[in-house]
Amino acid sequence: MLTPAPAAVSSNACAVEAVARQFLLSLKKDCHLLVAVSGGGDSIGLLTALDEARRASGREDVRLSAATVDHALRAAAAEEAAWVETFCAARGIAHATLRWTGEKPASGLMAAARDARYRLLAGEAKRLGAHAIALAHTMEDQAETLAMRRARNGSALASGMAERTLVDAAIWVVRPFLRVRRGTIRAFLDGRGLCWIDDPSNEDARFERVRVRRMVRDRVEALAGEAESAARVRRALSQEAASLFASAATLREGVLAELDARLLTDAPAPARYLLNLLIPVLGGLAYGPGGAALERAMALCAGPHGARMTAGRCLLEKHRDALFVVREGRDLGQNEIPPGRSVIWDGRFRIENRSSETLRVAPAGVDAASSGAEAFLPRRLARLAGKVRPALPPFEVVSCTPFLAPFDRFLPGFELALANAIAAAFARPAYPDPAPAYLR
């Protein structure tokens, strides 16, 4: 349904213009920006503000394109995408509708839709050669996100959305409106006589975000401020954890980390941060164990020789002054890879089949420790490190590169320092820096 902004809204709409102008001026020359536009007030406001600021600030070298993701979940979605296309055409902005096809999950629908949305937008950005993707998340979205993440894991490391996030290790997603209230955006649109589309799912209490929105509506600015503080803390911790990783950690066999437990104990805050991301890297999971598991891991660092625990599909074991972290030897994946295709095996390796026949990938097995591994690892851990690697044919017919699950799909900008330190240990290139990617 098309909705004009309510006349009762009293907000400083000039803030929208100022934020858009400041963002435009930060972009590099000839930057191509793909703006995600659902047709809602936030995204229509973002596209309009950027288009106006581009002209008013003398940044007509900046190119805007727009894309609408049709999740195919509502009958009206296609009509709404067509309305956005008309809106863009009137402003001379190229527009594409990206449709989420295929079977939809019975549970976890919102998470699956989010993943599909980012995948489709990243694909469109690649097709266009865009330098970054702009999303219209607002201060309200930020407050809701922080509240939901705190409720889920109760971790002191919980934060809101990053101002910039690297998607698929290739394209930066930016959020210029995180400090702007939704009512301010609607006042901006009202001043121009512009309408937007209301999505009925935004009022559907079956969805967690809608329920949280109602709970935090009186605490939006406070929560958004806490999210900014959390981002600053995480950026600082990421840098400290990167330094700690460089001094305390050694990667063995490409699957096991040996850490100096004494150095971890001496720096508990960056050590927790490091373990919360290193464990999922070695375990092949997108998220760290958080909370109580990290406290147990820190206690293990100061514990006796031979003490052990599991977390995030990893075994953590203390040997003298070393803490070893390695993938558990159970529930290891098996895949069949058709010729010319690739898969993410066990969340840890990207394997490409370059042969003309279907390739079956399975764990290497219990007797697969390399000849030199036992020289610097306890025998049992050396054998486990061999077991959790994939068994592969000669490299002439297969390509196998480490996949870093917490970073390769979504990498918040405040975690870039630690991500690059860990990537270097795996002989992976550094993740793209936002400055040459799209900033001046």
Q: What single letter denotes the amino acid at residue 310?
A: T
Residue 365 is labelled as binding a ligand: no
Window from 200-209, 332-341, 392-401 with minimum mean pLDDT? 200-209
Q: Tokens for 72, please give them.
A: 């195919």
372 annotated as belonging to a binding site for a ligand: no
State the chain's mean pLDDT as an integer: 92
Q: Residue 103 corresponds to which tokens in the numbers above?
A: 């079977």
Identify any residues that bridge with 34 across adjacent strands, giving them in sequence order. Answer: 65, 133
Say how far apart CA 298 and CA 64 lie, in whole Å.
Answer: 48
Is the domain spanning 2-137+175-218 CATH 3.40.50.620? The answer is yes
Specify the range with the lowest mean pLDDT, choosing from 158-162, 344-348, 404-408. 158-162
**Residue 160 among known ligand-binding residues:** no
Mean pLDDT of 6-16: 60
Which contacts of 210-219 are long-range, i.e. CB under 8 A and separated by 24 or more positions? 212/144, 212/147, 212/148, 212/151, 213/140, 213/144, 215/147, 216/143, 216/144, 216/147, 217/140, 219/143
* Model confidence pLDDT, tens digit, residues 258-301: 999 999 999 999 999 999 999 999 999 999 998 899 999 999 99
Tokens of 60: 């007509």
Asked whether residue 129 carries a pLDDT value surpassing 80, the answer given is yes
Two tokens, residue 229: 């503080």
Residues in the chain: 440
Contacts of 378 (CB under 8 A, 6+ apart): 319, 324
The CA–CA distances, whole Å, from 113 to 46, 70, 99, 408 equal 22, 10, 11, 19
Q: Name the residue among 122, 157, 117, 27 with its Cα closest to residue 418.
A: 157
- Cβ(59)–Cβ(53) below 8 Å: yes
The answer to whether 40 is annotated as binding is yes
Taking residues 176-180, report their average pLDDT: 96
Give the pLDDT confidence of 315-347 residue by residue, as tens digits: 999 999 999 999 999 999 889 999 999 999 999
Burial of 255: CB neighbours in 10 Å, binned 0-12, 13-18, 19+: buried
**Is 336 within 8 Å of 351 (Cβ atoms)?**
no
What is the distance between the alpha carbons of residues 189 and 42, in angstroms, rounded to a whole number? 9
DSSP-derived secondary structure for 306-349: T-EEEETTEEEEEETTEEEEEE-SSS---EEE-TT-EEEETTTE
Percent of the chain with pLDDT over 90: 78
How far is C-alpha 179 from the chain's CA centre? 20
Return all residues near 358 (Cβ < 8 A) that are at least 6 apart. 336, 337, 338, 339
Determine if residue 38 is labeled as part of a ligand binding site. yes
Give the pLDDT confidence score for residue 397 in this predicted structure.
87
pLDDT of residue 13: 75
The domain segmentation of the chain, as residue ranges, is: 2-137+175-218
Q: Is 80 exceeded by the pLDDT of residue 206?
A: no
Q: Find out whether 51 is annotated in a ligand binding site.
A: no
- Res. 5 pLDDT band, cuts 50 70 90: very low
Q: Is the pLDDT of residue 257 over 90?
A: yes
Q: Are 89 and 59 in contact (CB under 8 A)?
A: no
Backbone dihedral region of 419: left (phi > 0), alpha (psi from -120 to 50 degrees) or beta?
alpha
Q: Is pLDDT of 158 > 70? A: yes
pTM: 0.92
Dihedral sign, Cα of residue 407, residue 408, residue 413, residue 417 = positive
Q: What is the mean pLDDT of residues 178-206?
A: 88
147 closest CA partner among 265, 262, 65, 230 = 230
